[in-house]
A = this chain, B = another copy of it.
Amino acid sequence: MSTKPAIGFCGLGAMGMGMATHLVKQGYPVTGFDVWPPSLEKFAAAGGMPSSSLADSAKDKAFYIVMVASAPQAQPALFGDDGIVKALPKDATLILCSTVASDYVKSVEQELKDVGRSDLFFIDAPVSGGAGRAADGTLSIMAGASSAAFEKGQWLLEEMSAPKKLFVVDGGIGAGSNMKMVHQVLAAIQILALSEAYGFAVRLGLNGKDVFDAVVPSQGWSWMFENRSQRTLKEDYFPGASAVTIILKDTGIITYMSRRANFPSKLCSIAEQVYFSALDRGWGANDDAGIVRLWTAEPVSSITSSLSAEQKESALELVIDLLTGIHLVSAAEAISLAHHVGIPLPQLYELACDAAGGSTMFKQAGAKLIEILEGKDAGKGSVLGGYAEKLKIVVDKAQEIKCPLYLGSAALNALLATGPSLSLGALLDGYSVKQGSV
């Protein structure tokens, strides 16, 4: 008999399967539930205990992890008549790892009280890192909860996360989800940015491989660019590793929460409209790296460039300047939103610099933006004139070749709306965040 505590687990999709089987490998007896029988079989084959009853998966479990796709899936799983909450024993620890709106996790906290289950130790703990890191137990986890709940459950979060990748976020329930949401602002914008950049590049007559080689060591680098390029360059979209519907779900949470907070998510909301248009093309289940097909029917790596060396260099510079400008504004958008919802900014910086939302511009400008918001830079920060001028040249060129730049043109508008000062502080003001207010 195992000396390690039994764990219940709901949601054996790509992420959940990795997390649950990792725990099995660590010697935990894990009872896993899923509505899809083949997942249960796969879980059993990996040494887990499958359960076709939610209530059974929760019965007598001092620890329970929920990793379903969305709030509409979580709600009946948690609070249904045969659901998890009713079945959990007294003083159990319940961890919700799904990416959901912070409003939703707060409603779960309230509903636990309303149904008389205040005894449960509830943790809001969305994750990041993809299926590979889930299976390795090296996820990034952003967690918010009471200190009592962390005392009970932090060891389990540590089992699933990499060293230093468990971020305990101040603010209780909702803070983990808010941190994840803010991080996904970067992800949502930067995923579209790379397709826009490759699409623009193709229309400039560049080959995708040359673009990759030029962007990676440049100021235009982002984690998403480097990661998704592997699929863009091979047209590995069917189904690929991360469907359009996944980033669209996260984008939807961001823009929905932004509207509730009266926050203008300038780039994220335009990204969402373009993701909708990708859905309309029937690409929802394809990899998000395939959104470049909005710009080009030809594979980006099959373009035979007829540009001279000089023309090629100047075209590559335009692509880098496009990404740099977008990533700069995405940094301001994410950090402003973090400030708006009360996320600790240095923690966001630490997390995002080394995660899927990372970019060279986030590293560089992010630090300065945070100084301004924390009142440590009375001068309101660096001047953006150079970035605005470069992005203008990019948008001029795109206009000449009639290439849509949804993010590029919106990022330029955000820079121009800073007015004559063209300062980072004015860029933050454009997100209507006032210094010192939260």
Which residues on A are within 8 Å of B, measured CB to CB?
248, 252, 255-256, 258-259, 262-266, 269-270, 272-274, 276-277, 279-280, 294-295, 388, 392, 395-396, 399, 402-406, 409-410, 412-414, 416-420, 430-432, 434
A422 to chain B, nearest CB (A): 8
A395 and B409 CA atoms in complex are apart in Å by 21
Q: Do the beta carbons of A416 and B396 come within 8 Å of each other?
A: no
Chain B residues, CB < 8 A from A248: 402
A402 to chain B, nearest CB (A): 5
Q: Do the beta carbons of A417 and B404 come within 8 Å of each other?
A: no
A196 to chain B, nearest CB (A): 10
Taking a contact as CB atoms closer than 8 A, the residue among B273, B294, B392, B405 that contacts A406 in the complex is: B273
A258 and B399 CA atoms in complex are apart in Å by 13
A418 and B263 CA atoms in complex are apart in Å by 10
Chain B residues, CB < 8 A from A280: 294-295, 404
Taking a contact as CB atoms closer than 8 A, the residue among B258, B262, B395, B410 that contacts A270 in the complex is: B410
A157 to chain B, nearest CB (A): 31
Taking a contact as CB atoms closer than 8 A, the residue among B256, B259, B276, B431 that contacts A404 in the complex is: B276
A46 and B252 CA atoms in complex are apart in Å by 59
A296 and B276 CA atoms in complex are apart in Å by 13
Q: Do the beta carbons of A402 and B259 come within 8 Å of each other?
A: no
Q: Do the beta carbons of A419 and B432 come within 8 Å of each other?
A: yes
Q: Please judge, given known A-B contacts A395-B259, A417-B264, whether A402 and B276 are in contact too, CB under 8 Å.
A: yes
Chain B residues, CB < 8 A from A409: 255, 269-270, 272-273
A95 to chain B, nearest CB (A): 28
Q: Name 11 A/B residue pairs within 8 A (Cβ), A-sorted.
A: A259-B396, A259-B412, A263-B416, A264-B413, A266-B413, A270-B410, A272-B399, A273-B405, A276-B403, A416-B432, A419-B434
Chain B residues, CB < 8 A from A270: 270, 406, 409-410
A317 to chain B, nearest CB (A): 18
Name A421's closest neighbour in chain B (CB-CB).
B432
A274 and B280 CA atoms in complex are apart in Å by 15
Q: Do the beta carbons of B269 and A413 come within 8 Å of each other?
A: yes
Name A266's closest neighbour in chain B (CB-CB).
B413
A285 and B265 CA atoms in complex are apart in Å by 34
A404 and B270 CA atoms in complex are apart in Å by 9
Chain B residues, CB < 8 A from A416: 258-259, 262-264, 432
Q: Please judge, given known A-B contacts A259-B412, A272-B409, A277-B294, whether A430 and B417 are in contact too, CB under 8 Å.
A: yes
A29 to chain B, nearest CB (A): 41
A409 and B252 CA atoms in complex are apart in Å by 12
A181 to chain B, nearest CB (A): 15
Chain B residues, CB < 8 A from A262: 388, 416, 420
A414 to chain B, nearest CB (A): 7
Chain B residues, CB < 8 A from A258: 416
Chain B residues, CB < 8 A from A277: 277, 294, 404
Task: Give 18 A-B pairs besides A259-B396, A269-B412, A430-B430 with Cβ atoms closer than 8 angstroms.
Answer: A262-B420, A264-B413, A264-B416, A266-B413, A266-B417, A269-B410, A272-B399, A273-B405, A273-B409, A274-B404, A277-B277, A277-B294, A277-B404, A279-B402, A280-B295, A416-B432, A417-B417, A419-B432
Q: Do the beta carbons of A264 and B414 come within 8 Å of each other?
A: yes
A288 and B159 CA atoms in complex are apart in Å by 58
A392 to chain B, nearest CB (A): 5
